[in-house]
Structure 1
Amino acid sequence: MTAQTELPTERPDVPREESRRIRRRSLALLRSLLRPVSRPTWWTVALVVGSQLAAVAGPAFVAYGIDHALPALTDGDAVPITLASGAYLVTALLGGLLTAAAVRSTARVSQTILLDLRRRVFRHTQRLSLEFHERYTSGRIISRQTSDLDALRELLDGGVTTLASSALAMVLTAVSLALLDWRSGLLLLAALLPGLVVTRWFQVRSQVQYRRQRTAAARLIVRFVETMTGIRAVQAFRRETQVAATYDDLSEDYRGINAEAIRVNGVFDTSLTLIGNVTVAAVLLVGGLRALDGGLDVGVLVAAVLYAKRFFNPLSQIGMFYNAFQSATAALEKLAALLAEEPTVPDPERPVRLARPRGDVRFDGVEFGYGSGPTVLPRFDLHLPAGRTVALVGETGAGKSTVAKLLARFYDVRAGAVLLDGVDLRDVDPVDLRRAVVMVTQEAYLFSGSVGANIALGRPGASAAQIEAAARAVGVHDLIASMPDGYDTEVDKRGVRLSAGQRQLVSFARAFLADPTLLILDEATSSLDVPGEALVQEGLRTLLAGRTAVVIAHRLSTVMGSDRVLVVDGGRVVEDGSPAELVAGGGRFADLHEEWQRSLHRDG
């Protein structure tokens, strides 16, 4: 088992111009997200500024209380101490209220942005063409909606506010101390230099650790998803021990990287604590000596100590913010890249309506290849009159499913045209196209919900009677009626699990209810067992009656009822005729028919 491991977006080998383009794209996305919430964002900024101003005022009131209010109190004047105490209490309460309001405002802004982004990602990925989804693994799409949005949430919920409040707190603290006593302010600035050096050391090493953590986490997740997805193969080949050993090695690697990251964080926190404590001791020592000589008031000394102690806490928060910022930047780049993807099958500029499609199909000189890969259909011509059924047979890789995907317009041709009722599919209104053309594949996917709701997917708003009629038409009504809650039975809940063949019957009922003009069956009967196949043949005849159909199947029991059979090899039609004509002709189809007949005799 293999999978594509998605590594961090830090790419030192990316050309400078490409790096600038990525940055511009990310900033454009960020601006578009912030524009609708600009007013509450500025209100949040005001709340943060107000809370920090209230917080920085506290030590100043302490200094006033000690140096002025207490002497006045000894003289019998209690007004100054009352004012100082009241002002300190008011600013403390105000600071707490403003901080709480800032947190709530930040959360509202953050959740509004994330809701907008989550909706954009979901809607955009639905709009992208099948080619994108076959190239862009489902795990990466899940990562965009989960881990990347979580990275942005962590930054928006608290990271940005923390950075702003921390930086503002440091500036206001330094300014307040300088205004109160400039000599103590110089000590604080002198201590800032080693604090900045330690912070820079942490940023450099945490960046390395961050990359290693992301890589190790991605490998661990990929291995886990691979194992759980392929658990049948793991157990069938008794590979549990080997797979577990590989997973253990990856887990140990991840543990070691996290342990090293914890060590780096520990060194950073310890160093800042040491610098902060030494700074407080220096301010206290120098200020105490000056106070003894009468060069510094005691209240100012106490305030200077409080400011010095308060100064280094924000520096630690700024350093820790760096990891969240890196993660969010990487996530934003990935999300912006996803949203910049354009559908390879664009909607027509001037759509042509097909109010009453007949189902006349024509492949006119079609050439096609996937992406920039080799040509799969070198030149394909086919005319299928309305109401006729054509079957495509051939070896795996012959190009049969490619024809079906082009007909459903999951891809656009490189040359030539696919026409429905004489209109190029590239010009047909998408709503009319999806209504007129329905494709049933080998993998019958059922969504969470009731069996009836899954059938109604073919025609939203269908009545219970219409749903039941569709189920009866394809022979699945009795099965559904035997379930615990009939058509209201929840899929994969309360022990009700449908087999692959039963799921396919439900998908047939869904297609019958949709009532398309053109029906494509791409190996749609391959998962049916013999009793299931016998049950569905009559339903298939009902499903195919009166409509144009393209049937791709290895089972000749499905093919023999077709009006016409095409044997495809290397993207070219090598045999063309009715089933009876091809059997009598003694070619490839005759060989397949003979082998099929022998298998029926063996089974009998």
Structure 2
Amino acid sequence: MTTTDAWHGVAAEQADEVSDEAGVRLRRRSRALLGSLLRPYRRRVAVASLLLVVQNISGLAGPFLISVGIDAGLPPLVNDGDGSVVFAVAAALAGATVVEYAARRAYLEFSARITHGILYDLRRRAFAHLQRLSPAFHERYTSGRVISRLTSDVDALTDLLDGSLDDLVIQGLNVLVIGVILLVLDWRMGLLTLVAFPFLALIIGWFRRRSGPAYRRTRETVALVIVHIVETLGGMRAVQAFRREPRNNTLFGGLATDLADADRRVIRLMAVFAPGVYGVSIATTALVLGVGGWLAASGHLQVGVLTAILLYTRRFFDPMTQLSMFYNSLQAATAALEKISGVLEEQSEIAPPADPVPLPVHAGRGRQVELRGVRFGYRDDRIVLPNLDLTIPAGQTVALLGSTGAGKSTVARLIARFYDPLGGSVRLDGVDLREVDEAALQAAIITVTQENFLFRGSVADNIRFGRPDASRAQVEAAAAEVGAERMIRALPAGFDTPVGERGTRLSAGQRQLVAFARAVLADPDVLILDEATSSLDIPSERAVQQALRTLLADRTAVIIAHRLSTVEIADRVLILDAGGIVEDGPPAELLASGGRYTALQELARR
């Protein structure tokens, strides 16, 4: 199968899997989510429902009043010139219209507050939950799919709540109330109208069974289109560098075709459903007119009642016809709710401690880090660290070296608790990281990586990122400590210079210096530098190394770097191979031993 074919088939396979194996669970889960969103608004929903009932009854009063005007008002008006009944009916019609208008206006105000409250709660809940999920989730669940959940799926729910839901409810009430009114006006005509129900039930049941998977597939293909757009734009430099544009266009064309096919499938279903309902309504109306006309002509049915029955019959089937339009929004929102509820159901692999243990109070900044019998792999069939034991005393700077895949970054991620070990434990001052309070752990350990992310805002805002309450003087002092102050003051607005999206207004080296200043200001007990100086030029690296000697003093630090000049500031060097430590000692001793570290130094000099 080609890459294009694989992309093409994903949406259909996921839609079939959902509809065949997990449809019931998805519906139960989405209903639970909707119930939890509606729960805080129970009273408002009750008031809005009452207003809808009032609006519905007021709107349906018209045909009944017309029948009264025809049967009870016209004879005295024609025969005796007495128009009191007609005038009373006209006044009642005007009053019903006013009540309908007032109820409708009040309902729209109530429903708007409910809708905006629900969507606000949903967005905040989803966004907060996504931030709590571990890095493993975000590596598995692409950013494009996350964006789709928070944008297009929420928009689908917005379309339903803002425009279609009240219409669906009103039309449902119309069907119920009109059915009762028809039976009250004339039970024979009422039963005749209800003959259409079995046919309508067949059509609606057929549409419901087939439309669910169709709309789910539409949501999946929309998500895949967003994923492809986000990945392409995010990696635009690589796309253009490798002349990937034609291939990406081909992939996008395939995804767009899948989306068009999914939309056409929905349209084909609608093309059968809407005319089918309309055909049943026309046939039933013709039957009512024929039988009712014969009864009226034979004196067994009043003309006004027949008129009201015909008007009600038309209104009875109008909701059925309009349901084809409303069902689009309903099914799209249902599919979107299923997707959002799926994200909210995700559990972080990094579970918060049930009974948090405080870190021991200590003098100074460094803390001891221990890995005891640690076993870890990103997949069960690919173990990176089979059984690692490592102790880093408080205040010591350790450099990790080794070939790609040796486990250097994995050790750093475990110490930062981005992942939990499959076996053994990682400890900070003797306390298992799985038992440490999350806030205390986040304050104690900071990681600076090669691709440090800068957010929209000023340089000062980004330095203050880990400590929002820091003063301007503290921000400037942190920048000075890592040798970034001169560079920052040379920018157009100094510390107030906007960094742009993802920090694109700064060079890679400038972004790295800002990230160092951010870490200094956060003042952690344990600092992890994962290829943190790789984006710096030689002069900047030397300035940072001088600053790091001051920064890392009395602080526990783990340095991962390919540049051996960065490693020279470490107190201790560990050489890793296949997840195990093969050399361990001070840089000078290892260099004199003639082992792997010596070989790495010789390669660096060539």
Aligned counterpart in structure 2 of residue 394 of structure 1, from 402, 419, 423: 402
Residue 69 in structure 1 maps to residue 69 in structure 2: no
Residue 254 in structure 1 maps to residue 262 in structure 2: no
Q: Which residue does the alignment assign to 1:145?
A: 150
Query: What's the CA shift string for 1:499-521, capped at 9, x where partnerless?
Result: 22211110000011112221110
Residue 79 in structure 1 maps to residue 65 in structure 2: no
Distance 1:198 1:419, change over 3 A: closer
Instruction: Report deviation, 1:94.
Output: 1.5
C-alpha separation in 2, matches of 1:113 and 1:418 = 41
Residue 549 in structure 1 maps to residue 549 in structure 2: no
Q: Which residue does the alignment assign to 1:157?
A: 162
Gaps in structure 2 of 5+ consecutive residues: none
Distance 1:223 1:366, change over 3 A: closer
Letter in 2 for 1:586: G
Moved more, 564-573 or 251-260: 251-260
Distance 1:494 1:412, change over 3 A: closer
C-alpha separation in 2, matches of 1:496 and 1:586 = 44
Residue 102 in structure 1 maps to residue 104 in structure 2: no
Q: Which residue does the alignment assign to 2:357?
A: 351
Alignment map for 1:470-509 (pairs within 5 Å): 470-492=478-500, 497-509=505-517
Query: What's the CA shift string for 1:100-123, capped at 9, x where partnerless?
Result: 322332232222222222222222
C-alpha separation in 1, matches of 2:137 and 2:46 = 39
Query: What's the CA shift string for 1:5-56, capped at 9, x where partnerless?
Result: 56656636865xx765555444433332222211111112211221111122
Query: What's the CA shift string for 1:187-217, capped at 9, x where partnerless?
Result: 3223444444433443344345434434443
Q: Which residue does the alignment assign to 2:467?
A: 459
Gaps in structure 1 of 5+ consecutive residues: 599-604
Instruction: Give the CA RMSD over aligned residues.
Output: 2.8
Query: What's the CA shift string for 1:360-408, capped at 9, x where partnerless?
Result: 2222332222353433212222222222211000111101111111111
Alignment map for 1:254-403 (pairs within 5 Å): 254-348=259-353, 349-356=355-362, 358-370=366-378, 372-403=380-411
Q: Which residue does the alignment assign to 1:426?
A: 434
SS of the residue aligned with 1:447? coil
Residue 46 in structure 1 maps to residue 50 in structure 2: yes
Instruction: Report deviation, 1:314.
Output: 0.8
C-alpha separation in 2, matches of 1:538 and 1:102 = 68
Residue 435 in structure 1 maps to residue 443 in structure 2: yes
SS of the residue aligned with 1:328? helix
C-alpha separation in 1, matches of 2:214 and 2:423 = 50
Q: Which residue does the alignment assign to 1:601?
A: none
Q: TM-score, normalised by structure 2?
A: 0.90
Q: Which residue does the alignment assign to 1:32?
A: 36
Letter in 1 for 2:345: A
* 1:106–1:158 contact (8 Å) kept in structure 2: no
Q: Which residue does the alignment assign to 2:137?
A: 132
SS of the residue aligned with 1:439? strand
* 1:202–1:319 contact (8 Å) kept in structure 2: no
Letter in 2 for 1:469: A
Q: Which residue does the alignment assign to 1:579?
A: 587
SS of the residue aligned with 1:375? strand
C-alpha separation in 2, matches of 1:182 and 1:224 = 60
C-alpha separation in 2, matches of 1:199 and 1:278 = 17
Residue 11 in structure 1 maps to residue 6 in structure 2: no
C-alpha separation in 2, matches of 1:51 and 1:35 = 24
C-alpha separation in 2, matches of 1:258 and 1:333 = 19
* 1:51–1:99 contact (8 Å) kept in structure 2: yes
Identical columns (%)? 50
* 2:51–2:104 contact (8 Å) kept in structure 1: yes
Query: What's the CA shift string for 1:470-491, capped at 9, x where partnerless?
Result: 1112122122212222211222
Q: Which residue does the alignment assign to 1:602?
A: none
Aligned counterpart in structure 2 of residue 176 of structure 1, from 171, 175, 181: 181
Residue 245 in structure 1 maps to residue 250 in structure 2: yes
Aligned counterpart in structure 1 of residue 208 of structure 2, from 192, 195, 203: 203
* 2:402–2:408 contact (8 Å) kept in structure 1: yes
Aligned counterpart in structure 1 of residue 541 of structure 2, from 519, 530, 533: 533
Distance 1:236 1:12, change over 3 A: closer
Instruction: Report deviation, 1:438.
Output: 1.2
Distance 1:149 1:393, change over 3 A: same
Instruction: Report deviation, 1:277.
Output: 3.4
Query: What's the CA shift string for 1:321-371, capped at 9, x where partnerless?
Result: 444444334333333333333333233314223443542222233222235
C-alpha separation in 2, matches of 1:577 and 1:464 = 41
SS of the residue aligned with 2:569? coil
Length, aligned pairs only: 596
Moved more, 124-133 or 496-505: 124-133
Q: Which residue does the alignment assign to 1:227?
A: 232
* 1:162–1:317 contact (8 Å) kept in structure 2: no
Moved more, 111-120 or 253-262: 253-262
Residue 593 in structure 1 maps to residue 597 in structure 2: no
